[in-house]
Structure 1
Amino acid sequence: MKVDDRIDWEKLFDKKPFKDYIPFLKPELKEFEKNVPKANVLEVISFFKNKRIKAEREAKEAYQKALKTWEEKEKSNLSQYSKDKEKYLNDQASHNNKLKLAKQSYENGEKQGVVNYLNLVLERSKYPSSLSLFPEVKYEENAKILLVDMELPVADSFIPTIEFKYNATTQQIVDRKMNKKEFDDFYNNILFQITLRTIHEIFESDYNNTVNGVVFNGWIDRINPKVGKEVRNCIISLQVSKAEFNEIHLDKIDPRECFRHLKGITAGSLINLSPVKPIMMLDTKDNRFIKAAEMLGGFDNNTNLASMEWQDFEVLIRDLIQKEFSHEGCKVEVTRASRDAGVDAIAFDEDPIRGGKYVVQAKRYNNLVPLSAVRDLYGTVHNEGAVKGILVTTSYFGGDALEFVKDKPLALINGEQLLYMFNKHGYKMKIELTKKQRAASTISY
């Protein structure tokens, strides 16, 4: 309660000056003349005089050579410094300008500006490192309602230990755990606190009064033990106006009782993860969505997927995904072929058990798909609030990628599997990877 959740824009602006220039140490003649003998009475003998003169000449030559090298290095160093400084200042100006525009967008009440600002507020909210919360925010500017869909932690995220004690008799440290009722109450209380805290952070940070009400939907991703499938269920939902919420003294309330007072929705104890219907859902309309172009019929059996234009490949995959999902009663939307937000198609399954949002990425590779592409998909799944991500490629995945997706809601479709999918829907394609690839790089159906 003592934390000010408003974004301090001034602290986000980068005002740090570029580092000072540090020149190379310039050589000095005296350093080269240290071992040159001094003139003395022995120079009446020409040998000693000539020796000194030679040493002086060699010292000056070595100095001139070192000086020239220094000048070249210094010139190069100064040139690089100037380039680095120019890039730094340009990047700094770009960063600050984006912040300025973001601030103006929020303060002008623009839809995306409000979403970006409140996303930033929630991203900066500090929770224990063991908790991973992934909020997705939408804003209805006409009603000034903010909708927050947040992935909540499962019970396994918490350790039921209350305390540790040292047993002098056994000379061992023993822990005391909560019983089932204590842990159930503890878990329920945590989720109620997260719900109320999130709403508090939104209202308190909204200094421009762009939000009159908040709808909070808390979601859980889990494996349904009855069917062994991963499902995503909403288990808690609450709608509250700013005026009503501001009447509450959060430092004095019981989270569960406060939630009930605000007429929040749950289906019994939250530990049971029983689904409820969200008070409000995110609109599946998205400005990235376009009408899918029917391209599948425009290719013959000689079409090599690995060499076609990436724009055509992405559209083709979107057509295939639409056919793959549509027969299951899902709604499929395709996005503009501009690689925006890392999403090429989105499928919505409204089934209450398996339902949710699926994001699809299409990658036309001629070599091993890098692990970074798979990691990026995982980030996109969270950013989109999706239940699953699907990565489709013309090539193949390495062991590190396959290992990475083992415990994650990701599906990897390699070239061979892709051709099988086309064949299943009555389309014959082929994939011929470049000659640099391993043997047997041609597959077709």
Structure 2
Amino acid sequence: MACLSADAGSDSNTGNETSGCICFRPDLRGEYMGSDNWYKVDNVAKVFLATVSKRDTKTLRVSCTLKEKIDPKLLQEAVLSAIQDRPQVQMRIRRGLFWHYMEETDLLPEVKEESGRICPPLYAPAKTMLHYSVTYFGCRINLDMFHAISDGTGALEFLNIIVLDYLKLRYPKELDGVTIHSGASADDLSQDSYKQFFENMNLSGSASFRKAFHPGSIKLPYNQLQFFEIHMPTDEILPRAKEIKVSLTSYIGALWMMAIRNMIPPRKLNMPVTITLPVNLRNYYPSYTSRNFFNNVNVTHVFDREITLEELAAEFDASLKNQLTEDNIRKQMDSFETMEYVAPVRPVPLFIKQLVVKHGKKLADRKVSMVLSNLGVLSPPQEVAGRIDNYSTFCSSEHLFSTMSAFGGVLTLGVSSPYQNTGVIKNFVRSLTAEGVDISVYATEVIR
């Protein structure tokens, strides 16, 4: 799937229009949030804020394609309705001396027809702006969100609320009484769950990995990313994973590893292929937060011998399951959050912290070949599911990044690539078509 600023200006009721948003009208005060509340950003958001770039905007996109063309006026109404259910998105990120913080804003989103890039920049240090945007194109509704505001789970929840509110306006008699609500309070939704569920100081750190093979060297010019959307029937791919007794995530992960392996020159076969997988911590802790709440685990393999896809998938599955035990997840989260409580770190000025975080992220990225994020089976309310054709998800990145999600019997992968070479994606698709899987692939145009 927002960044920061020192003095980004005032959100005062001037009536001036700002990029992608509308200043609130006086008659709406009270319905929307004011500017009295603020809170510190979570530790994951701090990493996004320190490492945002022109290419990697740290933006995630979740889209829902309906079975009918979008009415922009109704969509605008739906978005204004949805932010009353999820006021946590009505934030802008400001810069303090020692940390960034989120401050409530009265800016309102303005729905526009899609015209720019997928995962556009949604943070600029000196610009007053919302850190999310809603666009439409044909039958599709897009929600782009800066990753410092929320993760994929939170973004999908917000998108589904928008879609439901839109369809309620479109078909008021059919959907009256249908809601999307977890029962969480406003405090639950805005909770920093990393801090809430932190247990013990842990300075042991995570497992160390070697520099990984990167499947591309020359990047696209002009800070571009190319996006690929891959569709396949779940009933053609899921039985293959079940046959060898591995999860679908492990099977897809092994396919990506094999696709990368076919790009490795002989002299570099000793370099590991490492795939990072984000883990939704809501599956391990009783959290309803709409903010970030995930950790990453890494699965790595060195192709120093011949190995079949089935063998690699079994190895991938075993490694992943070993890391996803409750004890390991707890230790990893405690290790990640511990630095927040180390006394010498807390009074360090923000600009120094950001330099350190940026350098650390750069070193960590060298150990990653690609990212695979499984958002699972998407389940909107049954009453609206019949009006939805499909979902798609993307995330900006400095290296290969693939999301995966399932809806309506279709597995959809959203791939982001900064590389001119598309060999890995071609290898991945060809390996599945060779097995008889019916695949559709769509790609954005880029300047090479």
Normalising by structure 2, what TM-score? 0.22
Structure number with larger C-alpha Rg = 1
Q: Which has the higher helix share?
A: 1
